[in-house]
């Protein structure tokens, strides 16, 4: 049995029954991480000594029958935008000095540590998480587990590749415009952007309240487990929500029967979707209906808010780099440097106009969810394209938002949204379906995704590396 192929839930069951130990699991996960790194480049660094020490401590607790928490002994990876105590957080940038004490955990990392998780290492990100693919001046290109000539997506591409290839079943990603969902779709795993504030964030993102932190996992059950751990308030985040009213894991059993699902294949004709993507999503939507959901084709009432998103995103980037010297600025990814300059030219009135668009979009989606419990769309309208590019070759768009029109609107509205794998295209590349719910209804997103996993529709989420 390959322990690296098991979900967190299955690992915990094995620990409970004494079938294997956290040390065995961690050793295999680290070996897998070392083996995949040369080809896919998922890691900034592995924290091997800490991981093995944590695994030994976990093993002793399990032997005593005293696990520390919900994920004791489970290997976890952390996107390198989130603080991990004792290790640098370089944010994909040559502008961040490695020296320093690094003596603090981000809130979700602290929660995982309290629950006994084993930290394998930090995963790659584009510089400051600014775009929907994962390459940076610091760490180079992160590649797709299914085809290394293709992108893993971004900005949580390292986390997605690590989970897909068995280097830990749980990972923490961040999502400011699709950065959990895009790589989840491209790599064939599950990724959830929770309701804003459900998972506390510290330090605050330069991109403000667009940015969410959430689970990247093999399936929805593992994501629910992870959200039960990390979805509690932290005093360092003034915008954090109060504790959830119940367990997300317990909610999974309620299924989808009776839920009202709106299926919007193209957002009312606004998005051109590749035929293979459209077909896979359509089959998954039919499966929801077979499971008892009430499904109808319906489009949310909004036009593409990309200009408002750009204003908020680009001004956040400009603020992030405002104090940089000319020498330090020259170290930046050229694309990031370009949007910083564009954001710096925006006025306060431009910013407030973008906020108005956001408020109106949130109102429209609030009304939409009075009629429908869930909205279903493709996650992205295409499958993974050539690695090392911000946009597909031949695209009419300059920025990554040109091929992600299904994802960033729901960062503006702060709604929970997930990508679930629903098949592959003719080249064997994964296809993702997005499931969206009203704010604070993360449970509905997880229930629907879990029902699909239980029905056996999506991909397994694990791709064997070469040689297995």
Distance CA 363, CA 131 (A): 27
Verify whether residue 155 is a known catalytic residue. Answer: yes
Nearest one of 382, 463, 427 to 178, comparing CA atoms: 382
Strands 374-378, 260-263: pairing is parallel
Contact predicate 354/306, CB 8 Å: no
DSSP-assigned states of every residue in 63-128: HHT---STTTT-EEEEETTS-BTTB---TT-TTS-S-S------HHHHHHHHTT-EEEEEEP-SGG
Catalytic residue among 93, 155, 156, 211: 155
Asked if 347 is an active-site residue, the reply is no
CA distance 431 to 423: 5
Under a CB-based contact definition with an 8 Å cutoff, are residues 196 and 34 in contact? no
Gap between the Cα atoms of 265 and 281, Å rounded: 8
Contact in structure between 84 and 161 (CB atoms under 8 Å): no
The catalytically annotated residue of 79, 122, 131, 193 is 79
For residue 144 the two structure tokens come to 């797709």
- What does the block give as tokens for 412? 């503006």
**Structure token digits, residue 146:** 């299914």
Q: Please give the Cα distance from 301 to 365 (Å, whole number).
A: 8
Half-sphere exposure of 390 (CA within 13 A, CB side): 17
Encoded tokens for 319: 């603020």
Helix (H) / strand (E) element for 433: namely strand 430-437
Exactly one of 58, 93, 136, 179 is catalytic; name it: 179
Active site residue 419: no
Q: Closest Cα partner for 33 from 51, 20, 59, 21?
A: 51
Residue 301's CB is within 10 A of a number of other CB atoms, namely 11
Instruction: Write the CA distances from 421 to 2, 85, 179, 212, 281, integer angstroms.
Output: 22, 33, 16, 21, 9
Structure tokens at 405: 């029109």
Q: Please report where in the chains the tokens 């050229």 appear, as a residue.
A: 334
Strand partners, 420: 433
Number of alpha helices (DSSP H) and beta strands (DSSP E) in the chain: 15, 13
DSSP state of 256: S
- The residues annotated as belonging to the active site are 79, 155, 179
């Amino acid at each position: 049995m390959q322990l690296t192929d098991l979900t967190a839930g299955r690992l915990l069951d094995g620990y409970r029954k004494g079938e294997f130990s956290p040390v065995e699991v961690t050793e295999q996960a680290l070996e897998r991480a070392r083996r995949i790194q040369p080809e896919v480049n998922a890691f900034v660094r592995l924290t091997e000594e800490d991981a093995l020490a944590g695994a030994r401590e976990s093993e002793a607790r399990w032997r005593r029958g005293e696990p520390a928490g919900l994920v004791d002994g489970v290997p976890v990876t952390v996107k390198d935008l989130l603080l991990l105590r004792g290790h640098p957080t370089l944010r994909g940038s040559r502008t961040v000095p490695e020296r320093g004490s690094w003596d603090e955990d981000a809130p979700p990392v602290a929660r995982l540590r309290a629950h006994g998780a084993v930290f394998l290492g930090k995963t790659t990100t584009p510089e400051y998480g600014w775009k929907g693919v994962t390459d940076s001046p610091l760490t180079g290109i992160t590649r797709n587990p299914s085809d290394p000539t293709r992108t893993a997506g971004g900005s949580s591409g390292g986390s997605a590749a690590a989970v897909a290839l068995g280097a830990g079943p749980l990972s923490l990603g961040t999502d400011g415009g699709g950065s959990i969902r895009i790589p989840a779709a491209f790599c064939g795993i599950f990724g959830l952007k929770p309701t804003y504030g459900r998972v506390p964030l510290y330090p605050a993102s330069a991109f403000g309240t667009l940015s969410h932190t959430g689970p990247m996992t093999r399936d929805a059950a593992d994501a629910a487990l992870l959200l039960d751990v990390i979805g509690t308030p932290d005093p360092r985040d003034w915008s954090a929500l109060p504790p959830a009213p119940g367990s997300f894991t317990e909610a999974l059993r309620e299924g989808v029967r009776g839920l009202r699902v709106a299926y919007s294949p193209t957002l009312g004709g606004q998005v051109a979707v590749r035929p293979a993507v459209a077909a896979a999503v359509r089959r998954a939507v039919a499966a929801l209906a077979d499971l008892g959901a009430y499904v109808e084709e319906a489009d949310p009432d909004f036009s593409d808010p990309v200009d408002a998103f750009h204003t908020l995103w680009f001004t956040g980037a400009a603020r992030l780099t405002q104090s940089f010297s000319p020498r330090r600025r020259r170290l930046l990814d050229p694309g990031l440097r370009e949007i910083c300059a564009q954001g710096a030219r925006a006025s306060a009135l431009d910013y407030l106009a973008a906020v108005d668009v956001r408020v109106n979009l949130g109102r429209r989606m609030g009304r939409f969810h009075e009629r429908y419990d869930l909205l279903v769309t493709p996650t992205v309208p295409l499958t993974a394209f050539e690695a090392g590019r911000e946009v597909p070759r031949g695209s009419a768009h300059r920025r990554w938002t040109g091929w992600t029109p299904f994802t960033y609107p729901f960062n503006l509205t702060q709604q929970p949204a997930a990508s679930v794998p629903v098949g592959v295209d003719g080249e064997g590349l994964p296809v993702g379906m997005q499931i969206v719910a009203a704010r604070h209804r993360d449970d509905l997103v997880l229930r629907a995704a879990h029902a699909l996993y239980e029905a056996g529709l999506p991909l397994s989420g694990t791709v064997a590396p070469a040689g297995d």
